[in-house]
Amino acid sequence: MTARSPEAATLRERLEAGLARIWWRARPGGAAWLLWPLTWPYRAGAAISRRLAGSPADLPVPVVVVGNVVVGGVGKTPIVIALVKALRASGRVPGVVSRGHGRQAGADIVTVGASSNAAEVGDEPLLVHRRTAAPVFVGRRRAAAAAALCAAHPDVDVIVSDDGLQHLELPRAAELIVFDDRGVGNGLLLPAGPLRQPLPRALARHTFVVYSGKASSTPLPGRHAARRAEQVWPLRAWGTRPGTGAATPQPLAALRGRRLVALAGIGAPAQFFAMLEAAGLDIVPLARPDHADYRRAPWPAGTPAVITTEKDAVKLAALPEADAAGGTEVWVLPLDCELPPALVHDVLALLPRREAAAGELPPHAPHPPPSP
C-alpha cells in the first residue's frame, strides 16, 4: 500500500469533517436532503448483497457479533475487550475475528501475534490481542477467518467478531449493537446520514443494544457499559504492560496543570478531547483520521508532552521519536469497559453449553436472573 500524499490526506480529512457536520445533527439539514436521493442506490445495493449472501457459513463454535449500525467509532473495541474477558471469566475460551481496517493489502487471513504490527493486522485487532491475549485472526471474509481460527485453536469454544453486523456470511448466536451518545445522528442512510442500515424497530431475541455513552441515545432498549479512564501509562511502559506489569501507571489527574497535545486518530476524536477536558486537563486537540497510519510522529517538533488513545499507541510504539528520550513524553490513556452482569448472562444463555473435557469439571459461574 502506497502512502497518500499530504494533499490527499487533507482532502480526506476535509471530506470527513464535512460529512460529520451533515450526519451528526438531531435532524437532517439541507445538505442531507440534497444527498438523500443517493440513499436509494445504497439501499438497493444492500438488498442485493443480502440476497446474494446465501446461507451463513457452518462453523464448529457459536459466534457473538459486536457491531454498529452507524459508521465511525462508537466505543466498540472496548466492548469487544470487555466481552472477551467476561466470556473467559465464565469458563469459555474465546477467540476474536476482525476485518482489520487500515491494514496493508496482503494475505487475506492473518494471525495477530506478539510481534505483529498495525500495518499488517490493523490497529484494533492488535489492541484486542494485547489487551486480552486471546487468539485473533484478521480477514476480509470474517467467516473464513473464524474457520481458520477454529482449525488453529481447537480449544476455542466461542468466537467474538469485532464488527461484522452487516457481514451476513457470518453466523451469529448473539449480536451486540453499540451506540455512543450521538445515537443515529440525523437518522438517514449513507451517504446522507451515518446509518449503514435502517434502525430496527424491535430487537430480535438474540440482539442486544449496548450504550457506550452516558445516556440511551436511541429509542431502542439497551444496557449501559460502565467506562473507566482513570490512569495513564508512559508509552513504553504501556507497550510492555500485558506481559510484565513492570511499570506503575499514574492517575490521570497527575497531568493537570501541564499543556498537553491530545492525539486521537479514532472515529469520534471529539469525545476523547471532551473526556480529557472534563478531567481538568489543559489540551491542544490533534485529531487524525480513523486508523491513521503514522510513519512519523504527528505532533509538532519540540512538543513536550502528548496524551493519546490505546488505538493510537499500538502504532506510535514503533516510532523512535515517540519516546521521552526524543524530547516528548507520550502518555497513553486506556479506556476500560465493564459489561452489566445481566447482559453477560443473557449472551451466555444463547450459547450452546460447553462440553467438559475428560476429567474436567463442567464450568460453572453464578449469574443473575435474566433481565425482563
Same-domain check for residues 216 and 247: no
3-class DSSP state for residue 157? coil
3-state DSSP helix/strand/coil % of the chain, to nearest 5: 35, 20, 45
Q: Are 53 and 187 in contact (CB under 8 A)?
A: no
One domain, residues 198 and 262? no
Dist CA 8 CA 186 (whole Å): 28
- Residue 93 CB neighbour total at 10 angstroms: 17
E strands in 237-354: 250-251, 259-264, 282-287, 305-309, 329-333, 336-338
Q: Is 2 inside any structural domain? A: no
DSSP three-state, residue 168 = coil
**What residue ranges of the chain have pLDDT lower than 70?**
1-10, 105-107, 239-247, 321-326, 355-372
Assessment of whether the complete model's pTM goes beyond 0.95: no
The whole-number pLDDT of residue 2 equals: 36
Read off the C-alpha cell for 206. 438474540
Are 75 and 167 found together in one domain? yes
Strand-pair partners of 111: 137
**Are β-strands 63-67 and 174-179 bridged in parallel, bridged antiparallel, or unpaired?**
parallel
Distances (CA, A) of 230 to 257, 280, 305: 16, 12, 18
219 lies in the same domain as 124: yes
- Domain identity same for 81 and 222: yes
Say how far residue 370 (Cα) sits from the centre of its chain.
27
- Our measurement of the distance from residue 82's CA atom to the centroid of its chain's CA atoms, rounded to an integer in Å, reads 11
Query: Do residues 250 and 271 share a domain?
Result: yes
Within-domain flag for 247: yes
The CATH number of whichever domain residue 183 belongs to comes to: 3.40.50
Tell which residue, 330, 103, 112, has the closest CA to residue 242. 112
Q: Would residue 24 count as lying in a domain?
A: no
170 and 311 in a single domain? The answer is no
Take residue 268 and report the three cell numbers written for it: 469520534
Residue 241 in any domain: the answer is: yes
In a domain, 290, yes or no: yes
Number of separate domains in the chain? 2
What are the residue ranges of helices labelled H in the chain?
6-23, 30-35, 39-52, 76-89, 118-121, 123-132, 142-152, 235-244, 269-278, 310-316, 341-349
Q: Are residues 66 and 128 in the same domain?
A: yes
Beta bridge partners of 65: 161, 175
Do residues 162 and 186 both lie within one domain? Answer: yes
Helix (H, G, I), strand (E, B) or coil at 67: strand
* Same domain for 181 and 330: no
pLDDT score recorded for residue 349? 97
323: containing domain? 230-334
Q: Is residue 40 part of a domain?
A: no
Which residue pairs, CB below 8 angstroms and at least 24 apart, start in 8-13? 9/289, 12/289, 13/289
336: three-class secondary structure by DSSP: strand
Write out the three cell numbers for 329.
513524553
Q: Residues 6 or more apart from 352 whose CB is under 8 A from it?
A: 62, 173
CA distance readout (Å), 45 to 33, 41, 99, 168, 175: 20, 6, 20, 14, 23
| Same domain membership, residue 263 and residue 125 | no
The whole-angstrom separation of Cα 248 and Cα 238 is 9
60 domain residue, yes or no: yes
Domain assignment present for 151: yes
- Examine the domain organization and report whether 310 and 341 are in the same domain: no
